[in-house]
Structure formats: structure tokens, C-alpha cells
Amino acid sequence: MGSAGTVAELVQRQWGDHRPGLRHEDRVLSHHQVAVGAAARAALLVDLLPAGSEPHLGVLLDNTPEFPLWLSAAALAGAAVAGINPTRRGAELARDIVYTECRVLVTERAHLPLLDGLDLPGVRLLVTDTDAYAELLAGYAGAEPGDAVLGEVRSATRMLLYFTSGSTGAPKAAICTQGRLAAAGQSLVDHFGVRRDDVHYVCMPMFHGNAVIADWAPALAGGAAVALRRRFSASGFLDDVRAYGATYFTYVGRAVQYLLATPERPDDRDHPLRLGFGTEAGAVDAARFRERFGVRLVEGYGSSEGGAAIQRTPDTPAGAIGRATVRDDLAVVDPETGEERAAAVFDEGGRLVNGADAIGELVNRGRTPFEGYWRNAEADAARVRGGWYWTGDLFFRDLDGFLYFAGRTDDRLRVDSENLAAAMIENILARWGDAAAVAVYAVPDPVAGDQVMAALALREGAVFDPDAFAAFLAGQPDLGTKMAPRFVRIVPAMPVTATNKVHRVALRRVGFRSADPVWWNGVGGGAYGPLGGEELAGLLAEYEAHGRTALLSPISPMV
């Protein structure tokens, strides 16, 4: 079976294949039934989209069968799916839907409260778990793949609009075409040897590129089955894997930590799983995972934008992501000058000792598959400068060319593998009545990715009240679930540069090791307490245990 040029071709290949293709709880659909369902939804979509409108639909769903069915339907119809993040709230959620010009929004009853009171002009709502939806869809039961299209379906046809945040503030929608998604799926089939009898377990949210590009697409390209978990559950993970016969899954670092935190069982290795593919697990946790569960975790690097990718080879050292397929394409450079950074130097324990000289921004100086952002020329220009693709990600590179992930640049934060923009969090925190000035920035997580830190300068006469601050955060309807600061530093005055801009470099350099009062909420989601000597020592021990101390700036504690 040759490679397909479009996702639509991959969906059409399912026609007549009566092997199990999609599993969710007690429901099993064959590959053929998936294709039949996709064809019916494609025909419905073609009828629902107004003439002259952009061929876009929003999908606001948990991981239920409707999500991959609508992805397949969009591919057949030549439409694009905007994955809508249910952790967004209020006007920001409405903005995501309207900005991507979705004239149809597919959702479920559980998410209807998120849409209450939102201004969504011209958006047709389809609620999948209702009798009205079932009756509407029944009218298209006889459709076949190719019956209903919005235009010629080609490799350059838009397929995905996936949100990613950056220093410009509001989330941008990265474009992924059918050709790029089909190629990404086939690449992983070839790299991991995906077989037709494999089962890909999708437990990461499908509104995110991780689940669609790295899990669903290779299953589709390789003829494997897909098993869905509505939402990730560490306690239910192994039971699902066994029940579905899952052989492959994708992850983000935090999910691996949650799995390792579950109580050990004698049957932890009694399962068919052979491989996990994802990001930011960390070398320490990856080794622990393999020792406990007998499953190899393969770290990858890529983004919804698709502007740069790193290939893992069998000789990749522990802790590294891999190296560029073409040596000179990817470089680690000074974000200001564009000059290449020094090669990484490690101590006998394998820890980076010259982070200040070695860490820089990863750029792609060669041909890039980046396909741009939806209606955002300014963001396109910021991403591709001087003929280079600037990833916005920090890396360092060893003498053999292997690349190691080190964090995010400027006010980009990546928390639990979700990209956040500091400016948006700052806008929310600025509502707090006691705040005179606010700055939000990333500090490295002890294991992987970033944590959110905020510096607050208080109004004259105000005293920081941690309980009042926590209550304020809880009352903000647009504060997403990943946005609450883990650390809060109370500064007497906000540090600024000579041009009167907030001196973020100085704030990041000090991080949470400050002579100013620093408060933190421990594991997140609770009350704030002082980050004192004992708490700080325990936190720094976590960085040491995971080999990430070098990512903290080389300053004396409590500066």
C-alpha cells in the first residue's frame, strides 16, 4: 500500500475494512463504519456551511468517537477542523471560535455551560449526544466517501487549525494541510513500524496536536485501530490498555509523572503496550517508566506549526531529543544576534555546566514545512525572519550534534505541554485591586516544561493577602486551568530596562530564589504559602534529582 497524498485518501481506504477500527468504552466501530460515519458527516457539513464561508468547523469535544469521526468528515469534505480548548473561558473561548471563522461548532451537552452567554454570531451548534443530532445525521446515512465535497481536495487543502500561543498575546491558529498531516502520519508509521494489528490509545486531548498528529494520524496511515479515553486518567490507564489491547500511546511529561505516582502493582508489566511517544517526560522519569512498566518512551520534538523537527536515532544520548535530519538546517543561536551558541559541556554526572553559553533559541535555517497562521501576517513574519524559522524554544547542543530541550523564550510558557502567553495572564492578574504592576514569566519546571511565575508590585499601603489573592484567581472566568501562577514574588517596584520596559530577563534570572517575599501554591490549585528555607530546599532537591539544576540561572540563592 503506497503513501497517500491526503488525509481524505487515508479515510477512503477504510471503506470495506471490517476489522475493529475505533473503540471507546463499550462501543466498537469497524474501519468501514468509521468511513461510513465520516461520509455522512461530510455530507451534513457541506449542507450546513453557508455559501462563500470559510470551510471551517470548530470541535469542542472530549475524546469521544465524534471527534475522530468529524476529523475524518472534514478531510473528505475538504474542510478544516479548529480544535477548541475546553479549558478556555468566557470571551477568550468565544474569540477562538470567531477568529477561526467557524460557522459550525460541534460539541456535547457537558460543554454547553461553557457557551452560555457567549456572542457567537452565525455559528450553527451541533450537540452530538442529543436526539436532534441523531435525527439530523440519519438523513445522510447513505452517503459514501467522495459524495459531498466543498471543492477539490488536494494535499494543500487546509485540514487543521491548531491553537498555539506566543509573545504576541492571543492564541494563534497554526495551519496544517492534508498533505502535511498525511505525511506526518506516514513518517511515524515508518519510524515506529506501525502494524495493522496495532491499537493506538488516545488519552491526550484531541484538541491538541499531540493526539491528532502523533497518535490518530499514524494509526490512520498504518491501518491500525484507535482506542479513546474521554479524558486522561492515571488510575484507569493500565486497565484501558489491557481492555483495548493498546500497543502505542502518546504522552506529555506531566502525564508520565501522574502514571508513576500511582501505587505499584505486581501486574504493572502485564499488558500489550510496547511504546510511548511524546515530549517532556525527562530522562529520569523515562527510565523509571521503562523499569516499572517495561515500556520504552521515545521523546520527540515538533509543533503544530511544523517549522522544525528533530529525529531520534538509536544512538541518541539519555536526555537528548535527537538531532537534525540535515546537520546544518537546525542551529542553536543567540536570539539577539543570531550567532551560534557554544557546544554544551557536561560534568561527570552528565549535568550541563555551561548553560549561560550553550543555551539559545532553536532555528531552522533550511527548508521549513511551516504553513503559516490563520489570518495573522504579523505572527508569520515574527516566526520566519531573515529566511530562518525561529521556534521560540530554547535548546543546547552537544559536540556530536544532539539537541537537548531547555525551555521557552521570552514570555512564552509551556505548562503541562500547553502553550500559554504571559501577556494574557498579566491582563487577568492586572484586575486585582491591590496590584500596581504585574509581570508574568516562565521558570523551569523541576521535571519538564515550565511553571508560571508572577511578580507583583502592590499599590501604596497594600499588603499581600494570599487567601484574598487565591480567591481573586478563583473568581476569574477567563483564567484557564493552567494559568494560575505557581510562584508569586512581591517586589517593591517592578524592575525596568532603560527603555522603561519590564526587565523580564532580570526577573527570570532570579526566578523564585529571591530576597523579596515569594509565595507558592505547592502542587498547584490550592492556597498560597511562603516559599521558605525548608520548602525551597525541597524544591531545589527536585531539580537536582531530575538533572535540571543547570536550567536555573547560576546565582546564589536568595539574591
CA distances from 195 to 14, 220, 248, 497, 539 (A): 15, 11, 11, 56, 43
Whole-prediction pTM: 0.79
DSSP letter assigned to residue 340 = B
Based on the domain organization, do 55 and 128 belong to the same domain?
yes
Q: Are residues 159 and 66 in the same domain?
A: yes
User: How many domains does the structure of the chain reveal?
Assistant: 3
Strand order in the sheet with 518-520: 435-444, 450-458, 487-491, 518-520, 529-530
**Is residue 53 one of the residues assigned to a domain?**
yes
Within 10 Å of residue 541's Cβ, how many Cβ atoms?
A: 12
Which residues lie closer than 8 Å to 29 by C-beta, 6 or more apart? 20, 21, 22, 23, 37, 65
Beginning with the edge strand found earlier in the chain, give each strand of the sheet holding 172-177 in spatial order: 124-127, 104-107, 56-60, 80-83, 158-164, 172-177
* pLDDT score for 325: 67
Same domain, 429 and 463: yes
Residue at 365 is within a domain: yes
Per-residue pLDDT 10s for the chain (559 aa) are: 567 899 999 999 999 999 999 999 999 999 999 999 999 999 999 999 999 999 999 999 999 999 999 999 999 999 999 999 998 889 999 999 999 999 999 999 999 999 999 999 999 999 999 999 999 999 999 999 989 999 999 999 999 999 875 444 578 999 999 999 999 999 999 999 999 999 999 999 999 888 999 999 999 999 999 999 999 999 999 999 999 999 999 997 668 878 988 889 999 999 999 999 998 777 778 888 999 999 999 988 876 688 888 888 889 888 888 888 666 689 999 988 999 999 999 887 676 778 778 888 999 998 888 999 999 999 999 899 999 999 988 888 999 999 988 766 665 677 877 767 676 788 788 888 898 888 899 898 888 888 999 999 998 889 999 999 999 998 887 787 788 999 999 999 888 764 456 788 889 889 999 999 999 987 666 789 999 888 899 889 988 888 888 888 765 444 3
Torsion angle defined by CA atoms of residues 303, 305, 308 and 311, in that order, rounded to the nearest 10 degrees: 40
- CATH at 361: 2.30.38.10
Residues 386 and 453 in one domain: no
Compute φ and ψ for 352, nearest 5 degrees: -65, 130
pLDDT of residue 559: 37
**Residue carrying C-alpha cell 542553536:** 332
Question: Which among 362, 300, 516, 540 has a CA at the least distance from the CA of 444?
Answer: 540
**Full residue range of the structural domain in which residue 345 is found:** 330-408
Please provide the size of the chain in residues: 559
3-class secondary-structure state, position 71 = helix
Same domain, residue pair 172 and 57: yes
514 and 391 within one domain: no
Indicate whether 450 belongs to any domain.
yes
Same domain membership, residue 161 and residue 19: yes
Judge if 435 and 401 occupy the same domain. no
Q: Is residue 56 part of a domain?
A: yes
User: Residue 16, SS3?
Assistant: coil
SS3 314: coil
Alpha-carbon distances of 517 from 120, 338, 554, rounded to whole Å: 43, 36, 20
Q: Which SS3 state, helix, strand or coil, does residue 193 take? A: coil
At which of 373, 408, 443 does a domain end? 408
250 belongs to a structural domain: no
Do 539 and 396 share a structural domain?
Answer: no
pLDDT value at residue 482: 83
The pLDDT score that the predictor gives to residue 556 is 41
Asked if 314 contacts 308 with a C-beta cutoff of 8 angstroms, the reply is no
> Which residue, of 162, 177, 192, is where some domain finishes?
177
What are the cell numbers at 22? 475505533
Q: What is the DSSP letter of 189?
A: H
- Are residues 144 and 38 part of one domain? yes
Q: What residues contact residue 438 under an 8 Å CB cut-off, 6+ apart?
A: 426, 429, 430, 432, 454, 455, 456, 457
Q: Which residue has the cell 472530549?
A: 62
Looking at residue 253, what is its pLDDT?
66
Residue 300 CA to residue 313 CA, distance in Å, equals 11
Question: Is position 243 within any domain?
Answer: no
Q: What is the pLDDT of residues 441-458, one digit of tens each?
A: 989 888 888 899 999 999
Dihedral of the alpha carbons of 215, 217, 223, 227, in degrees to the nearest 10? 40
DSSP 400: T
- Alpha-carbon gap, residue 411 to 382, rounded angstroms: 14
Give a three-class secondary structure readout of 446-467.
CCCCEEEEEEEEECCCCCCCHH
- Which pLDDT value is given to residue 2? 64
> Considering the domain boundaries, does residue 200 fall inside one?
no
Average pLDDT of the chain to the nearest whole number: 89
**Final residue belonging to a domain, choices 408, 434, 449:** 408
> Does 476 lie in the same domain as 341?
no
User: What CATH number has the domain bearing residue 464?
Assistant: 3.30.300.30
Nearest to 40 by CA among 145, 124, 129: 145
Question: Do 363 and 474 share a domain, yes or no?
Answer: no
In a domain, 229, yes or no: no
